[in-house]
Structure 1
Amino acid sequence: MSLTFTRRRAAAAVLAAGLLVPLTACGNDDSKNDTGSAKATESATGVPKANLTVLAAASLTDVFKTAGAAYEKKNPGTKITFSFAGSQELVAQVKQGAPADALVTADTKSMDGVKADTSTPTVIAKNRLVIATVEGNPHKVDELKDLADTKLKVVLAAPEVPAGKYSKKILDAQKITVKPVSQEPNVRAVLSKVELGEADAGLVYKTDAETALDKVDAIEIPDAQNAIAEYPAAALKHSKNAEAAAAFVAWLSTPEAQKILQDAGFQKP
């Protein structure tokens, strides 16, 4: 074999090896980018990472703060911001196209009002009304009919608010006429009036009263005279984080979330 031919073969081998190096490097970079991209957009549980905004009924204020923290811990990289208000206000926000990802109301009727904007709702919890009185119950309020006393300063949620609707329903059923000193935009505002001593009594959810037992007394209402509130949750169709929003709504029905809700006094759905 000639020396010239040998040199040509050696040169060709070097050139081929040189070409293979950058091709292999590109393959490794692509693999790293794919892996890095997956880690950046998906948590260890497979739920897409996202900053979620959840519109939630005011009566969920305390429990959802706990639930949100638990969900974020379970899904690192996900951040949940809650906006609490009366369900009627939340529905109005959805109709106006508020940039949110999920909705949880305190009644099915409110949720039905935006069915064109939501996925199929799931009831995640139930609640019931109690009579909240000033601490120590100085006016000796023992039952619903006591709220008819004109000397008593009673505050109720406004008629368009779920808590107001439930209150009207049970008072009408017992043929009890109450003249409230004010009608509030959400149930937490009712509780606040009683806590501050601006009202002697008010109708609130059991879970609301339990957040302030150091400031108010809670008088149970018999089942036969009470109403059961249902809390439906749904992802919003216009959400930019549809998959992540659906995952959060689904999580609310899991044993972990249900324990948080029931520990706060909510009933099983």
Structure 2
Amino acid sequence: MTRSARRTRRTLQVAGAASAALLALSACSSSDDSSSDTSDKSDSSASASSSDKLSGTVTVFAAASLKESFTTLGKEFEKEHPGAKVTFSFGGSDSLAASITGGAPADVFASASPKTMAIVTGKKDNATEPVTFVRNQLEIAALPGNPDKVSSLKDLTKSGLKVVLCDKAVPCGAAAQKALEASKLKLTPVSYEQDVKAALNKVVLKEADAAVVYKTDVHAAGDKVEGVEFPESAKAINDYPIALLKGSKNAETAKAFMALVRSAEGQKVLTEAGFLKP
């Protein structure tokens, strides 16, 4: 074989080897891409499956002061879990507790005080161990512009001033009584209301000059009332516990809603509404 021929043969062999190597790399790359696509699709499918597996209706009994915050969280929950629905019953915590112990169907109870939660948890096997998720502080709701110049809890005892309080059995009413006792003040309201929203509404409708409610309710009312802080409220802060009711028909989804309430996202909604961190 001539030198020129041998040189040509070696060139062809090198070219063939290089081509084979490129084919092998291409095959590996294709395999890796395919594996990556499969993995990504699998992860995406698993995530969707995890999100979609929660379904059915969750019924939440919650203190009236939680209405705005929980309604927002309920919508967020339904958005995250398209197969689930959250329905609420808001009212005075004592009335809600009585309804639950009386057999009213519910999955979650969020109360405005440990005392009213105990009405439910005190019954054997009625609920799981409650957990405090927020706290709330009292504030005076005065008429817009504060025409009566209310600047303290003592000012509510002025003659002729129409003041509304929550019923003493309701957490906001019990807290108001505690603040009044701490101040050694006596106050006779024109009415006792069954929940904090009803007390606030008396001022909104100008049927009363002032009411002792929660900071969160003053915040929710916007310019319909004027809030007046008072130092004695620091001695009557309410813890808000939440618990899963053992008679729940949809415990898994109910637990997921409770997890949202206690999550960073849930706490952000609650603190923006004026609640204090637990």
> TM-score if structure 1 supplies the norm length?
0.82
Per-residue deviation, 1:224: 6.8
Match in the other structure for 1:65: 71
The equivalent residue for 1:79 is: 85
CA gap of 1:43–1:129, structure 2 versus 1, over 3 A, is: farther
SS in 2 for 1:214: helix
CA contact (8 A) 1:234 1:246 kept: no
**TM-aligned CA deviation for residue 73 of structure 1:** 1.1
Match of 2:210 in 1: 201
Deviations 1:124-160 (CA, angstroms, capped at 9, x unpaired):
1111000100111111000011111121100000000
Quote the offset at 1:211 in angstroms.
1.1
Alpha carbons of 1:225 and 1:80: their partners in 2 closer, same or farther (altered >3 Å)?
A: closer
Contact 1:72 1:79 survives alignment (8 Å): yes
* Selected match of 2:155 from 146, 155, 180: 146
Contact 1:150 1:179 in 2 (8 A): no
Match of 2:178 in 1: 169
Match runs of 1:255-266 below 5 Å: 255-266=264-275
1:49 aligned onto 2:55? yes
CA RMSD for the aligned pairs?
Answer: 1.6
Question: How many angstroms apart in 2 are the aligned matches of 1:89 and 1:43?
Answer: 39
Q: Measure how far apart 1:164 and its partner are.
A: 0.3
CA deviation after TM superposition for structure 1 residue 225, in Å: 5.1
Report the secondary structure of 2:129's partner residue: coil
SS, match of residue 185 in structure 2: coil
Aligned length: 229
Match of residue 221 from structure 2: 212
Q: Aligned pair in 2 of structure 1 residues 46, 76: CA closer, same or farther (>3 Å)?
A: closer
Task: Give per-residue Cα distances to partners, 1:25-76, cap 9 Å, x unaligned.
Answer: xxxxxxxxxxxxxx9xx96337531201100000011111111111111122
Alignment check: 8 A CA contact 1:194 1:202 kept: yes
- After superposition, what is the alpha-carbon deviation per residue over 1:83-102, rounded to whole angstroms, capped at 9, x for unaligned? 00100010011111111111
Alignment correspondent of 2:42: none
Q: Is 1:249 matched with 2:255?
A: no
Q: Taking structure 1 as reference, are residues 133 and 224 closer, same or farther at Cα in structure 2, changes over 3 Å only?
A: closer
CA–CA distance in structure 2, aligned partners of residues 224 and 258 of structure 1 = 22
Deviation for aligned residue 1:247:
2.1
Instruction: Give me the whole-angstrom Cα distance separating, in 1, the residues matched to 2:112 and 2:49.
Output: 30
Letter matched to residue 75 of structure 1: H
SS of the residue corresponding to residue 233 of structure 1 reads strand
Contact 1:47–1:247 under 8 Å retained in 2:
no
Unaligned runs of 5+ in 1: 1-38
> Higher helix fraction: Structure 1 or Structure 2?
2
- Cα distance change of structure 1 residues 137 and 101 upon mapping to structure 2, 3 Å threshold: same
Contact kept in structure 2, 1:43 and 1:75, CA below 8 Å: no
Q: Does 1:107 align with 2:116?
A: no
Alignment partners' CA distance in 2, 1:152 and 1:142: 13
In 2, Cα distance between equivalents of 1:59 and 1:224: 16
Q: What secondary structure does 1:211 align onto?
A: helix
Q: What amino acid is the match of 2:59?
A: T
- Secondary structure in 1 aligned to 2:254? helix
Identity of aligned residues (%): 48
Aligned-partner SS, 1:239: coil
Residue aligning to 2:13: none
Query: Which moves more between the two structures, 257-266 or 176-185?
Result: 257-266
The separation in 2 between residues aligned to 1:64 and 1:168, in whole angstroms, is: 27
* Alignment check: 8 A CA contact 1:43 1:77 kept: no
The answer for the alignment partner of 2:104 in structure 1 is 98
In the TM superposition, what whole-angstrom CA distance separates every residue of 1:142-190 from its partner, at most 9, and x where no partner exists?
0011111121100000000000000000001111111100000000001
Q: Which residue of the partner structure matches residue 20 of structure 1? A: none
Select the structure of larger CA radius of gyration.
Answer: 2
Counterpart Cα distance in 2 of 1:196 and 1:101: 34
- Give the aligned partner of residue 130 of structure 1: 139
TM-score (norm 2): 0.79
Shifted more, 141-150 versus 244-253: the winner is 244-253
